[in-house]
Structure 1
């Protein structure tokens, strides 16, 4: 009996460890990149990973600035960018068709002049149909986001796009040409680090800005879908005392901001804070001891993964939903980006050589908490079908459904609606990928994962 108990305890310890930030030892077992920093990454629907950094080879294979990894972290040699990048890729997104849009401060791709933005085919070659006749942005692009309709938001330090004046933020059509319906006018008076799309189509911008179209907006502003300033967002306030680096929108519409700031609207904060939907500081979010934060993602259970200088020891940490500390991780350097996989595991990249004492160079995958707790699974009484789904998701519940919400895995609310039993939800507008469906009944809320084909 004692042996059986010890065996059970050992297995339980392994399971709990695998759910709580342990390193996935089966990932990235090769030599990895030869540089110092992976600055951007993206996850394909097939589990392969695009990484960009200062490397010139990956697993001993020549790859300058960008590479694709198999789901186990090894180099995918079918993705070949040729001579690669001159400059740096700072951000990237993967489109529904598998093509990759890269942005940064680069000026060439595979010996072809491409200033600050380009699109690659699925095999890593340059997509020459993207903005075919235009000069592109006049300076670096630091952030990018894509709307559900395929149009592309970019922000950075540029003053024009294709020779047309645009004040450091603009929107492109899906082919890379300028979307003339989005006019930022004079725009931001200083460069922007982050652009984020809200579920209602409004646009958040953050960075070194202090005015937008000559109206005071320090470090953060919200724009309407046409590029004009949304004056209902923080109309009075001093903003952050030091610029915002990145932003994340929670499912409830509140905004998590990360940066080097120590106060917001003259209230003392750490380098991560949360704003209410009107832009005011959410004072229920616990002040922490972070000197700075690079980015954050909201987990489906409401907890927050973030990175930066925290308690002077940890570069990567998990917070509770109220901002208080939940868990610290030991990294041998700075963490830059994180991605939540559909299976609950988390990809982490940056400039580090170890994670929790295990040698891992610049990229690691850690085991995450389950997306649904045991109690959620036990109480679940909804059915969705088919799953994966192409156009119409059928939903059936033992209880009357008051409304539903669809979220991306990074916590963005994409769709809302009111439904009753045996209803159908049109998901044809969603891009391919993994989503969370939250259904509300009179008694409770339930969350279920589904895949859009």
Structure 2
């Protein structure tokens, strides 16, 4: 605008004035720290940087301050196959100067289902692995049909360290003299062993069930492992299950006598191995002893009822096809009738979810649940509700037979000649590596157990995992659940003889409040159980009976 003394004024047009920047690029959003899983085929990360600059900018990404060749865009896609953490940054330069972003830490762990290369098993094993038990020291017990493990003489039972080396455990004996079908580590550290044997080394004990001390010696206090004919089981034990409430043991096999009394195929022992005569299932039909089928899998429900699976057509005089549920006295639960249709081992594995739903695997191709309903296709896996009605969830076919395991946190694993993981939202995990178990030899996963650190032990007939040589036993990395957060003493309220506290929970994780009247008691008893929903839960604990004191703990699966 221009004016003079006469009072005239003129206004020009509007124009922009640009003040040029003299600074280097400014980082607005640097790359971020990430935790990523490494899978067998590698993995990919995506990072981004945003910035401002008056002048054109040259972008260069750096890994551990070393230039990443060809990575010159603001958006970075980087693939890698190495299990090694690294630092990621980006250098931005213009004609004024260079700015380097803050460092982002890229932390890498094995993805769920990938083989832990630190554990190497020998490739000279004389048989297969049928059962596993994880140990608190990071090692594992394996049982099966083998009589040698590499250069070590190990008859049917072997302990391996975290790197796969055979330990001296059981070296003081000649091992067992017959196949091991199932092993389980108990809460007190002892090992329960079932199979087709009758001695440990030179120690005659008879029957197909014994209990070992943590050092591998025979636990002579366990009644069913006694050489006394009035106590032992007279033949092969195929499988067993532990009742969580009191440690009682349901035992299935091809036996006809227990503790000198007629008891075919299925029996109940207390936690010390004493035969429980009050449990009398009607299983006299010989179909329950048809080798190698009969009863193959057992699972207790939270209410104490027992699920039995295998290859059979009758329970006493009542028709039941491959799956039945028994009451606490061994009588048939007539309200539960699920029919599996197929051949071979009809039901080979059972898992009971915290909500009472029952997952079953086997060689079936269809299910009728309840029996009067329409037959529905289900290839080798099905889930039924507690009342026996069929659930809608399905899995891609894995193999004839198979084994199930529920991961802490709720995911379900199904192993066979392939491998699947069913997530808690009932979808199949798309990242789970589901094959590579040595198909030329018909390799399969037939046993699973979770290690204390959350990793997964698998065993079977395989000779490779993910295309890499790995014989009979492998350890797979897993995604661990959130840690169990116990209430502090200041958060526990005592009122009217009850304790109350608030417990943070994880969705789909199962929790138990357990107690002992004395710490010397052999087992923890379950007072209550519930399934987490991701929120805090108010828990009330009551002293049992007239007990003046008790010891409590919180357990989570």
TM-score, reference length from structure 1: 0.79
Q: How far apart are residue 323 of structure 1 and its match?
A: 5.8
Whether 1:277 aligns to 2:386 is: yes
Q: How much does 1:297 deviate?
A: 1.2
Sort the Cα spacing of 1:78 and 1:109 in 2 relative to 1 into closer, same or farther, 3 A: closer
SS of 2:415's partner is: strand
Q: Aligned equivalents of 1:426 and 1:77: distance in 2?
A: 35
Conserved? CA contact 2:409–2:507, under 8 Å: no
Q: What residue in structure 2 maps to residue 334 of structure 1?
A: 444
- The answer to whether the Cα contact below 8 Å between 1:141 and 1:157 also exists between their aligned partners in 2 is yes
Unpaired runs of 5+ in structure 1? Answer: 310-314, 387-391, 416-424
- Tell me the equivalent position of 1:292: 400
In structure 1, the partner of 2:471 is 361
Q: 1:121 maps to which residue?
A: 213
Q: 1:319 to 1:330 in 2, by over 3 A?
A: farther
Hey, what's the Cα distance between the residues in 2 that align with 1:394 and 1:58?
Answer: 52
Q: Distance in 2 between matches of 1:105 and 1:323?
A: 39
1:146 to 232, 238, 242: 242
Q: Secondary structure at the match of 1:34?
A: coil
Q: Is the 8 A contact 2:266 2:283 kept in 1?
A: no
- 2 CA distance for matches of 1:181 and 1:406? 38
- How far 1:444 moved relative to its partner? 7.5
For the 8 Å contact 1:26–1:72, the answer to whether it is kept is: yes
Aligned residues: 407
Change (3 A) 1:303 1:129: closer
Q: Does 1:95 align with 2:191?
A: no
Structure 1 window deviating more from structure 2 (14-23 vs 357-366): it is 14-23
Distance 1:285 1:202 in 2: 24
1:271–1:218 CA distance, 2 compared to 1 (3 A): same
**Per-residue deviation at 1:438?**
5.1
Q: 1:143: Cα distance to partner?
A: 0.9
Shift, 1:325, TM fit: 6.0
TM-score normalised by structure 2 residue count: 0.65
Partner of residue 207, structure 1: 310
- 1:120 and 1:94 map into 2 onto residues whose CA distance is 9
Whole-Å separation in 1 of the counterparts to 2:126 and 2:507: 39
1:109 and 1:154 map into 2 onto residues whose CA distance is 20
Aligned residue in 2 for 1:232: 335
C-alpha displacement of 1:172: 0.8
Partner residue of 2:342?
241
Q: Is the partner of 2:62 in helix, strand or coil?
A: helix
Contact between 2:340 and 2:364, CA under 8 Å: does it hold in 1? no
**Mapped partners of 1:428, 1:323: distance in 2:** 39
CA root-mean-square deviation: 3.5
SS at match of 2:348: strand
Match of 2:95 in 1: none
Unaligned runs of 5+ in 2: 1-59, 69-75, 87-105, 289-293, 369-374, 490-497, 518-522, 539-552
Whole-angstrom distance in 1 between the partners of 2:390 and 2:160: 40
Please give the per-residue CA displacement for 1:83-141, whole angstroms capped at 9, x wherever unaligned. Answer: 11222001012222222121112233213252211222222222233223236333321
**Residues 170 and 240 (structure 1), Cα distance of their counterparts in 2 relative to 1, 3 Å cut:** farther
Is the CA contact (8 Å cut-off) linking 2:281 and 2:330 kept in structure 1?
yes
Classify 1:179/1:288 alpha carbon distance in 2 versus 1 (closer, same or farther; 3 Å). same
Q: Distance in 2 between matches of 1:138 and 1:89?
A: 15
**How many Å apart are 1:82 and its aligned residue?**
0.8
Deviates more, 1:126-135 or 1:292-301: 126-135
CA apart distance, 1:257: 0.8
The verdict on how the C-alpha distance between 1:287 and 1:76 changes in structure 2, with shifts beyond 3 A counting, is closer
Q: Which has the larger radius of gyration?
A: 2
Matched, 1:74 2:177: no
Shift of 1:181: 2.1
Report if aligned partners of 1:102, 1:117 keep a CA contact under 8 Å in 2: yes
Alpha-carbon shift at residue 450 of structure 1 (Å): 6.8
1:98 and 1:84, CA in 2 relative to 1: closer, same or farther beyond 3 A?
same
Which residue number in structure 1 is paired with residue 232 of structure 2? Answer: 136
Match of 2:550 in 1: none
1:197 aligns with 2:300: yes
* Matched residue SS, 2:63: helix
- Distance between the aligned counterparts of 1:151 and 1:331, measured in 2? 36
Deviation at 1:307, TM superposition (A): 1.6
Map of 1:20 onto structure 2: 112
CA deviation after TM superposition for structure 1 residue 179, in Å: 1.0
1:321-364: CA deviations, max 9, x gaps? 43646332321121111112232211111111111122211111
Give the Cα separation in 2 of the matches to 1:80 and 1:15: 41
Partner of 2:269: 172
